[in-house]
Amino acid sequence: MDAAMTTDTQQPTARPSRTMPMAAPAVTSTSAAAAPTRIRLEHINAFYGQKQALFDVNLDIPDNTVTAFIGASGCGKSTLLRCLNRMNDTIPGAHVDGAIRMDGTDINSPEIDPVQVRTRIGMVFQKPNPFPMSIYDNIAYGPRTHKLYGSKADLDELVERSLRRAALWDEVKDRLNKSGLGLSGGQQQRLVIARTLAVSPAVILMDEPCSALDPIATAHIEALIDQLREHTCIVIVTHSMAQAARVSQRTAFFHMGKLIESGSTDQIFTMPKLDQTQDYITGRFG
């Protein structure tokens, strides 16, 4: 279901662009205490019809940091991720109470256009969802929709830069006019990430982005995530404890719609405050 929903309407920010070469998978779990809050969640309650899926979630999500959402299936991780870019608005009968403050503005407020929100907060799903068009056109789609470039040369440059940042350029530079659907699963996921990057989102949400990928493709995506956080705020849902430990600096543990504990990934994995967290991360539960 998730894979059917896509967002390619992000708008540019003034972030400097950089070429990001592929690096070895990062093993970084250091605390990111210095990073300023990018998104503040206040009293989030989410409902599907009568059924409540999230209960009074309060959480600060820092910039330039990877925050992992962990917890057993059905605990509300994807629901909360979808709150962050108003994607639950697209689900009939769903509604979300509470404030989601980004740069001081409550993006959950009815006055805020969800399309505008999604221009700033991109989403990557479990199953890679390239558009049925060329590699070049996949990347150019957002910039064309939002007229983010001047000349054709500008667009070419933006496409190349986005593919380089997604660590895909070298693999596709000779086949830009070929279909994005012809790429491997791992390449498709990097293509989708490049497509998201082409419109310079401030935040990238990833819902189990590696669960359809093999270990080598997973390592590529994890290395990429570590590079991307230099210029973005990243939130990743993962059911893999090992992945959360590898890629994130902050971790939030959920159980049955409640945020149980959050903190630095080091702290959550080595010294959780609550037995419930300990039981989950050691595999005794969930």
The contact set with ligand ADP (CB under 6 A) reads 48, 51, 53, 71, 73-79, 91
In whole angstroms, the minimum distance from the beta carbon of 215 to ligand ADP comes to 23
Q: Which among ligand ADP, Mg ion, none contacts residue 95 (Cβ within 5 to 8 A by kind)?
A: none
Using alpha carbons, list the distances in angstroms from residue 124 to 29, 50, 173. 22, 28, 22
**79 belongs to the binding site for Mg ion (CB under 5 A):** no
In whole angstroms, the minimum distance from the beta carbon of 254 to ligand ADP comes to 7
Q: Which among Mg ion, ligand ADP, none contacts residue 185 (Cβ within 5 to 8 A by kind)?
A: none
10 Å CB burial of residue 17 (0-12, 13-18, 19+) is middle
Beta bridge partners of 94: 48
Nearer to ligand ADP among residue 75 and residue 135 (C-beta): 75
Amino acid at 164: R
In whole angstroms, the minimum distance from the beta carbon of 143 to Mg ion comes to 30
Q: State whether residue 213 is helix, strand or coil.
A: coil
At 205, list the tokens. Answer: 């949400």
Measure CA 221 to chain center.
12
Q: Which among ligand ADP, Mg ion, none contacts residue 112 (Cβ within 5 to 8 A by kind)?
A: none
Nearer to Mg ion among residue 7 and residue 78 (C-beta): 78
Q: Which among ligand ADP, Mg ion, none contacts residue 48 (Cβ within 5 to 8 A by kind)?
A: ligand ADP
The site string for Mg ion over 37-76 (x = CB under 5 A, - otherwise) reads: ----------------------------------------
Question: Which one of 78, 119, 238, 264 is in contact with Mg ion (CB under 5 A)?
Answer: 78
Nearer to ligand ADP among residue 161 and residue 255 (C-beta): 255
In whole angstroms, the minimum distance from the beta carbon of 172 to ligand ADP comes to 31
Nearer to Mg ion among residue 82 and residue 161 (C-beta): 82
Nearer to ligand ADP among residue 30 and residue 50 (C-beta): 50
Who's near 213: CB < 8 A, 6+ residues apart? 185, 186, 189, 221
10 Å CB burial of residue 158 (0-12, 13-18, 19+) is buried
CA distance linking residue 199 with residue 99, whole number of Å: 25
Nearer to Mg ion among residue 6 and residue 78 (C-beta): 78
Who's near 196: CB < 8 A, 6+ residues apart? 8, 10, 122, 123, 124, 142, 204
In whole angstroms, the minimum distance from the beta carbon of 207 to ligand ADP comes to 7
* DSSP run (H or E) holding 100: strand 94-102
Q: Residues in the chain, how many? A: 286
Number of residues that bind Mg ion (CB under 5 A): 1
- Give the interface with Mg ion as residue ranges (CB under 5 A): 78
